[in-house]
Amino acid sequence: MMRSVLFAAAVTAMASAAGAATIVMNGDFETVDGRTGVTVGGSDGDALNSLNGNTGRASWDVYDSLPGGWANAPQQGNGIEVHSDRTLRGVTAHSGSHYIELDSERGAGKGSNSNMSQEIALTAGTWDLTFWYMKRPGRSSQDSNRIAVSLWDTLPGGTPLFDELLVHPSTLSGRVENGWTEIVHRFSVSEDHDNALLLFSARGRADEQGGLIDTVSVSAVPLPAGILLLVSGLVGLGVMRRLRKG
């Protein structure tokens, strides 16, 4: 009987841990390195690890990719625009000191509406996609602040794993922290996907001033407590039967 109790406790602990862990790498954009930006503007060529809003100067740049597997892929616009705290008036990151804008500074011959993506591995089950959103200060229009979120089995144009999620100021209803609104989208997949593509895209007016993103995560939803208790009970019954036979 003691073994069954210990096993049940282990099952509960593993399920809780699985539900808490995110499979997105560098979802808070705080892992930085020396890669340099690509934009033409006030911070042209800044190294990612040099962005610091406490210096009193504009501290942002646009990048082809970011640590953790984020990429401007499939390529759209100029790239991923990273801001540090207080680069935009009154804005501090939801977590850490960096956040993202996808209506990026224009490059030569490129539009401003960009995207970013990361490959993630999903197992069959139910998942929560969570991120924090803020409309850009001074841009209240939803036409300027639209962000689309999608998930594909491999690449866009393949099979979508949920209907595209369109976020803008008039859709917000989640909890708010320091001006950021939490967006949570629950979805299920019926089979494993080793190379699913999580894609964020700017969908507003291409004016270099769009919605902001921070603290992205994708986490498995824990099994309900009732199911865990049922599994624990069945395990306990199995152990008792074996003991009686012994």
CB atoms < 10 A from the CB of 67, how many?
A: 16
Q: For residue range 4-35, what is the model confidence (pLDDT) as tens digits?
A: 444 444 444 444 444 568 999 999 999 999 99
Which stretches of the chain score pLDDT less than 50? Answer: 1-18, 227-236, 239
Helix (H, G, I), strand (E, B) or coil at 10: helix
Residue type, 40: V
User: Residue 169 to residues 15, 124, 144, 160, 237: CA-CA distances in angstroms?
Assistant: 35, 32, 10, 25, 53
pLDDT for the residue 244? 60
Cβ(79)–Cβ(64) below 8 Å: yes
Token output for 27 = 């979802």
What's the pLDDT score for residue 89?
A: 85
pLDDT of residue 38: 84
> Would you state the pLDDT for residue 216?
98
Which of 43, 28, 54, 47 shows the shortest CA–CA distance to 104?
43
**Residue 14, pLDDT score:** 43
Pairing assessment for the beta strands 147-152 and 160-167 based on DSSP bridges: antiparallel
CA distances from 233 to 17, 129, 191 (A): 21, 32, 27
Residue type, 237: L
In this predicted structure, what is the pLDDT of residue 105? 85
pLDDT of residue 228: 42
